[in-house]
Amino acid sequence: MKNEKAFTLIEILVVVAIIVILATTTLLLISQATKNGRISSAKTTVRSALIAVAACKNMNGTVSVPSGSEDGTRTICTTAGAGLPNAKWPQLSNSYQYSAGTYDSVNCTFPVSTNGDVTSLGNTYLTCNCSSQKCE
């Protein structure tokens, strides 16, 4: 009589393959969720600066253009008494950086480099607009 209590090699390999596929799928989903979280955090951080830029422009102030990675100490509005006087360009996390943009009107736009993280629009940068106060 044959002993039927053991698993065959094929059965074990099939189970291992299924576990590897499930683990890979889970890790990919976690990785994408982490990237989406970093992008969402950057959008929230920049949104506060967009409000200050709009306030500065509404009071005919001059906006200081962000450069690269700000450290949270540079004032957004360089005109005394205009806008929100204590508003600073916020520091971005995850090696994200501000890029040069257009600040000649309240409809200013500027990109934020996402350090290779791909946004929902398929870009590696966020386009921030002061009038709509959004980054997409």
pLDDT of 113 above 60 = yes
| Per-chain mean pLDDT for the chain | 85
| pLDDT 10s digits, 36-63 | 999 999 898 888 888 888 888 888 888 8
Q: Give the pLDDT score at 106.
A: 59
DSSP letters, 37-96, are: HHHHHHHHHHHHHHHHHHHHHHTT--BPPP-BS--S-SBSB-STTSS-TT-BPPPPSTT-
Q: Under DSSP, is residue 30 helix (H, G, I), strand (E, B) or coil?
A: helix
pLDDT band at residue 9 using 50, 70 and 90 as cut-offs: very high
In eight-state DSSP terms, residue 3 is: -
Question: Average pLDDT of 112-122?
Answer: 87
Of 27-31, 54-58, 103-107, least confident by mean pLDDT is 103-107
